[in-house]
Structure 1
Amino acid sequence: MGIAERRSIRSCISRISRPQKIILGVFAFLFIIYSLTPYDSRARSFFRFQHNVIEDYYQNVHPTDSWLYKTQPYPIDPQNDVAIIVKTGFGTRRRVPAALEALSNESFFADTIVAQDFPLLPDQKNYTLKNGKEVPVIDIIGWNLERGALKGQEQQERIMKYENLADAVDGEEWMLADGLGKDMGWELDAMKFLPSLEYVWQTLPKKKWYIMADDDTYMIKSSLALVLGHLNYAKPQFLGNPVGDYKGRFPHGGSSVVMSGAALSKLYDRHPEVVAEGNQESATAIWGDKLLSTTFMKIGVYLDETYRRLFNGEPPWMTRMWVDRFCLPLVSFHGLGSGDNMLHVGETFKNMKEPVFWRQLGKIYGAPEFASFIAEPIRANVDYVGRLDEYSTTVDKITEVDECVKICHEHSAECLAWTFDPGRKLCHFARWAILGDVAEGRFSGINGQLAQKLEGSCHSPP
């Protein structure tokens, strides 16, 4: 650096006022403290949480889908570049055939394994996808115990429960095994996340992307393939539907969790001591998806909430089509474990070779067109709002349905759907709409003008 340059810098510094110097000093001090704290410290978690809040607000106010229609910089071959883990337990094992059949109905067949929490049954074999690709089954907790990853934890209550279940399965005491499986399924599930990923990393290495899902989760793989083509798999990536407070944000496991091969490589190849610590914690952890997230945090891999709006933790008939998601791909459904729900969803989406967007859900399921609500705004015995929460609004002392319609129009940017309950004199409205739930005695509708405006703002493929 020359004399003139140094003089210029000193001159600039001298022109900064004392209060400005103090502010700069505070920021420099905070940056140094932040940089020196562990990756999973509360300080880092707090600042990251605030950043996510700001980014989420911006995406809510200025939703965009233009990035989806740019050339994919990281295109993938889904059949060879993706691995899927389906987690199941003894109490839910009968869901697996339907889950795999549904996943076989789409346009590509990713390598898949089933990770369960009990020994293989006497007549249990590997599953097979419709294209003939074999799906191995692994007792992942037994595998983790046999290799010594849980050494020293054998007397933990949870591991003893697993041993009791394993003994009941080996002894073909099915009533006892069913009772144990149903009572402690959530506990054993927490022990499956980390070893399942390690097992798939060892048996199906070098995949670009790894996806973990429950046995009642359906993934729209054509939507997923579109999104992944825009993400760099060579960088540690960790995606999902965020839940939890700032101290430990983690992806909701039922909405599916997506990780790049680089993230798994960083964890399992470069930080075995962190993996070992996580396996030990799994014997007492409450939630496996949170344990997975906090383990990644220890090596500086954080949940990326940029793509949170792509993941869905509800079945189709309860899915809320939010205002800020209309133009985005819909990646997952959850809660499909009852009856034939999984098979019905698989049948509905089996011919989907193109990505599915949130706004298309009504059309796929035969719900009324959004535009039809402009001429006929009120529908009887139906509810288009669905589940109420802190993001919905309720107005009381409403006596006429027309008042509820008027309230929605007065909040035209915030009301996509409304429901009037005459018995309780309540008007509910929200920034989302569902397909329509049967609700005797109620009146409901969708803000057709807003829905059309949102649809018109969406880009089309070039």
Structure 2
Amino acid sequence: MGLVGRHELRALSARLSRWQKLALGLAVSFFVIYATAPYDGALRAFFRFQQSQATNFYQSQRPSDGWLYRRQRYPIDLDKEIGLIIKTGYGTKHRMPLALRALSNESFFPDTIVVQDFPVIPEQKRYNLTNGKEVDVIDILGWNLDRGALKGREHLERIYKYKNLREAVEAEEWVLSEGLGKAIGWELDAMKFLPALEYAWNTLPKKKWYIMVDDDTYVIKSTLSLLLGHLNFGRPHYLGNPVGDYKGRFPHGGSSVILSGATLRNLFEWSPEVVAQAHLESPYAIWGDKLLATSLMKIAVYLDETYRRFFNGEHPWMTRLWIDRLCLPIVGFHGLGDKQVMEQVGEIFKDQEGPVLWSSVPKIYGVPDYQTFMDVPIRPNMNYVGRLDEQSTTVEDVAKVEDCLDICDRHSTNCMAWVYDPNSKRCDFAPWSILGDLADGRFSGINGKLGKRLTDRCHARPGAALRRGR
């Protein structure tokens, strides 16, 4: 540092009070500690979580959808530039033909890989999308084990369980295989995430985006096109529906997980030691989606919660239509394991024009619109709230249903739906609504005024913007 620089520092120091010097010293110390902390350390995780919470609160207070309909800077061809990975297990393998057919209904034909926890059986060799495009099927646990990625872990209980299942399938002992598949499926699923992505990176390299879903998940093509066309695939992106505490936020696997090609490059080409360690940890992991998240944290790739409002972890009738996302598109649905439900969803959404907004789901399923709830606010034998959680509110000792309706009116900015039980005299309300569930003896309704006011603010969806994403 030159003489002039030293004089300026002395002059600045002389002007600062003792407390200002102390504050400056603490700020500099904190910056140094934070900058040198591990990427996956508790300090970084804590402040990252607080930042996400602040951003989430701001977005909930000022929801915006206008940016979606501006010119896309990174338009993509979904069929050529996306790698789709579908996870399945022996106990749920019957879902795969239905899931592939449902996705194909939207003319969605990406390069697709099915990863599973048992050897490929003869009928699986016929997996195709409806346009004839072949689907690669791989026993991902066998692949990972046979190539030595789990060396030194072969003696562990979970590996033994996988081997027992593999031997039963290879011996065509179908009853035993079915029992084992159902009993240990969740354990084996935790070991699929990292090797599934690594296999996809090896066999489908240079894709702009990679999407991982479960065999009971349905993704909406138009939403993917609209959202991903605004994101730079050349930068590390990691998107999904966040769950977990600040120590390890991770996207719920069933809601779908989206990663840019840059993320997989950084992980599998530039950080092989992180990948190797994650494989060795997988036989102990409870959740594979969390293991993926904590592995990415080590290379400074974190779940981006900015786009959390696009993701949904429920089937249509239990989907929560939150106040702060009505104008945004919905990525898809989860929990469609029932044959009839998956077929129905595939048929319903194959002819939808443009992105499917959260607010358009009720209309698609023939549920009364917000105006009808303004005209007839109380509906008997119904529940429009659904499952309660920490963000719902319960009021006890409510004398009659009209009082519950009044309570919702008094909380008009955060009550989207309410339900009243006359037997317990309990009133529940929440900042979301569902399509409606039968509930004998209860009364329920939706805040039609709030819903209409929010949806009236949604931006128009210009056709040109939609065409660019196709």
In structure 1, C-alpha distance between the alignment counterparts of 2:454 and 2:231, rounded to whole Å: 26
Residue matched to 1:299: 299
Change (3 A) 1:426 1:172: same
The aligned amino acid for 1:421 is D
2:125 partner SS:
coil
In structure 2, C-alpha distance between the alignment counterparts of 1:346 and 1:10, rounded to whole Å: 71
When normalised by structure 1's length, the TM-score is 0.97
Given that 2:217 and 2:333 are in contact with CA atoms closer than 8 Å, whether structure 1 keeps it comes out as yes
In structure 1, C-alpha distance between the alignment counterparts of 2:39 and 2:180, rounded to whole Å: 38
In structure 2, C-alpha distance between the alignment counterparts of 1:359 and 1:456, rounded to whole Å: 11
The aligned amino acid for 1:334 is H
Residue matched to 1:414: 414
1:440 partner SS:
strand
When normalised by structure 2's length, the TM-score is 0.96
1:280-429 map, 5 Å: 280-429=280-429
1:77-116 map, 5 Å: 77-116=77-116
Residue matched to 2:263: 263
RMSD over aligned Cα atoms: 1.4
1:212-227 map, 5 Å: 212-227=212-227
Given that 1:126 and 1:137 are in contact with CA atoms closer than 8 Å, whether structure 2 keeps it comes out as no
Change (3 A) 1:404 1:184: same
> Deviations for 1:100-158, whole angstroms, at most 9, x for unmatched residues?
11111114311111001000113431411111211110000011111111111110100
1:30-109 map, 5 Å: 30-109=30-109
1:19-30 map, 5 Å: 19-30=19-30
Change (3 A) 1:36 1:123: same
Residue matched to 1:438: 438
- Structure 1 position 196 matched with structure 2 position 196: yes
In structure 2, C-alpha distance between the alignment counterparts of 1:460 and 1:8, rounded to whole Å: 56
1:355 partner SS:
coil
1:429 partner SS:
strand
2:213 partner SS:
strand
Q: CA deviation at 1:353?
A: 3.9
Q: CA deviation at 1:11?
A: 4.2
In structure 2, C-alpha distance between the alignment counterparts of 1:270 and 1:221, rounded to whole Å: 31
Given that 1:310 and 1:331 are in contact with CA atoms closer than 8 Å, whether structure 2 keeps it comes out as yes
Q: CA deviation at 1:61?
A: 1.2
In structure 1, C-alpha distance between the alignment counterparts of 2:74 and 2:389, rounded to whole Å: 38
Residue matched to 1:147: 147
Residue matched to 2:118: 118
1:134 partner SS:
coil
> Deviations for 1:70-127, whole angstroms, at most 9, x for unmatched residues?
1111111111111110000000000111111111111431111100100011343141
In structure 1, C-alpha distance between the alignment counterparts of 2:299 and 2:291, rounded to whole Å: 13
> Deviations for 1:391-436, whole angstroms, at most 9, x for unmatched residues?
1111111121111111111111011111111111111111001101
In structure 2, C-alpha distance between the alignment counterparts of 1:248 and 1:447, rounded to whole Å: 36
Structure 2: give runs of 5+ residues left out of the alignment: 463-470
> Deviations for 1:339-366, whole angstroms, at most 9, x for unmatched residues?
3111111111011241111111100100
Q: Percent identity?
A: 61
Given that 2:211 and 2:256 are in contact with CA atoms closer than 8 Å, whether structure 1 keeps it comes out as yes
Given that 1:217 and 1:334 are in contact with CA atoms closer than 8 Å, whether structure 2 keeps it comes out as yes
In structure 2, C-alpha distance between the alignment counterparts of 1:380 and 1:123, rounded to whole Å: 49
In structure 2, C-alpha distance between the alignment counterparts of 1:226 and 1:17, rounded to whole Å: 54
Given that 2:95 and 2:339 are in contact with CA atoms closer than 8 Å, whether structure 1 keeps it comes out as no
The aligned amino acid for 2:336 is L
1:94 partner SS:
helix
Consecutive aligned runs of 4 or more in structure 1 exceeding 6 Å deviation = 1-6
> Deviations for 1:423-453, whole angstroms, at most 9, x for unmatched residues?
1111111100110111111111111110111
Change (3 A) 1:126 1:274: farther
1:371 partner SS:
helix
In structure 1, C-alpha distance between the alignment counterparts of 2:312 and 2:265, rounded to whole Å: 27
> Deviations for 1:34-93, whole angstroms, at most 9, x for unmatched residues?
111111111111111111111111111111112111111111111111111000000000
Change (3 A) 1:132 1:339: closer
Given that 1:141 and 1:192 are in contact with CA atoms closer than 8 Å, whether structure 2 keeps it comes out as yes
Residue matched to 1:272: 272
2:96 partner SS:
helix
Given that 1:106 and 1:353 are in contact with CA atoms closer than 8 Å, whether structure 2 keeps it comes out as no
